[in-house]
Amino acid sequence: MSSAESGSTVGQGRSEFGVALFLGALGVLVIVEALLLPESLIARGPVGPMAVPMVVGSLLLIVAVFLTVDLLRGGRGEPEGGEDVDLTGRSDWRTIAMLAAAFVANALLIEGLGWPFSGAILFWGAAFALGSRHYIRDAAIALALSFGSWYLFAFGLNIVLPVGILRGIL
């Protein structure tokens, strides 16, 4: 008998049913929203804008059904047992707050500064929050990533991200 089985009770695992319910509800929501999409004038061929959301929603529903069937048959998720995971450790709320601040700063600054600079702030902030203390190198990498991704979207995908203060330059 393993340690996971020794502590099992009838009530244990109800949260897993919550995950299955969440996945099913999300799948239904995605399918309903896909069905409500207006007909696109730019759609070419048999695959329109609702194809991918329909596939994703259907897959979410299938996973929810399989998870529910597994749980009803007695299947339970195994407790975390990774060798590199400190099971007694607590959440690092400071890191989470810094990452959230980088995302919020990006959302607030993207229209005014544009993606190249707000993206650089996002990338640099994420690197700082995750422990990197090479400020200049991280800033250079963040600028390269944000400008590179702007050019990739603009010329590779033909999707224009906001340029903000660089309007007329980029």
CA distance 119 to 110: 8
H-run or E-run covering 115: helix 115-129
- Total number of residues shown for the chain: 170
SS3 of 80, please?
Answer: coil
Q: What is the mean pLDDT of residues 15-21?
A: 91
Cα–Cα distance measured from residue 104 to residue 45, given in angstroms and rounded to the nearest whole number: 38
The CA-based dihedral angle spanning residues 158, 160, 166, 170, taken in that order and rounded to the nearest 10 degrees = 10
135 vs 85, higher pLDDT? 135
Predicted TM-score (pTM) above 0.95? no
pLDDT in tens, 21-69: 999 999 999 999 999 888 776 666 677 778 889 999 999 999 999 999 9
Q: Spell out the domain ranges in the chain.
A: 14-72, 93-166
